[in-house]
Structure 1
């Protein structure tokens, strides 16, 4: 499995996951359930999106396209 995205929070993780699923890429969120135990420690970097090794390049393309969308 390869990490393709570090999310700032659960919402961002699920948005990224949905984009990958819409593109037909099997992915999952890792670290989502650790947030409750973080306490006052920063949670950045603890939630990430994982994909199969063979899907890494396509997943990176999907994530980059999604992450660069300008909202007016």
Structure 2
């Protein structure tokens, strides 16, 4: 098994896992059960997304195309908020 991605958190790891499994690449999450462990374990960065050696190049290409660790676009200002008369109201 080779590491194809070091996840920042559990959600990040599962997003990568589902993207790889959608392409029929088997995935193993190393350290998944350790998240949030007390003591000397760090709370983040302990989950490694691993794939078989033979499919690592294909998996790396897929992971490289995913929008990971990118900033979220800013929400529109109040001036640009949708008009309530259009039928959509905030929850």
TM bracket, shorter-chain basis? 0.7 to 0.9
Distance 1:39 1:26 in 2: 31
| RMSD of Structure 2 on Structure 1 (CA) | 2.0
Distance 1:13 1:50 in 2: 10
Question: Which structure has the higher relative contact order (CA within 8 Å, separation 6+)?
Answer: 1
Q: Greater share of helix residues, 1 or 2?
A: 1
Structure (1 or 2) with the larger CA radius of gyration: 2
Q: Greater share of strand residues, 1 or 2?
A: 1
Distance 2:56 2:19 in 1: 14
Task: Give the TM-score taking structure 1 as reference length.
Answer: 0.83
Give the superposition deviation at 1:28. Answer: 1.6
Structure 1: tracts of 5 or more residues without a match: none
Which 4+ stretches in 1 moved above 4 angstroms?
none
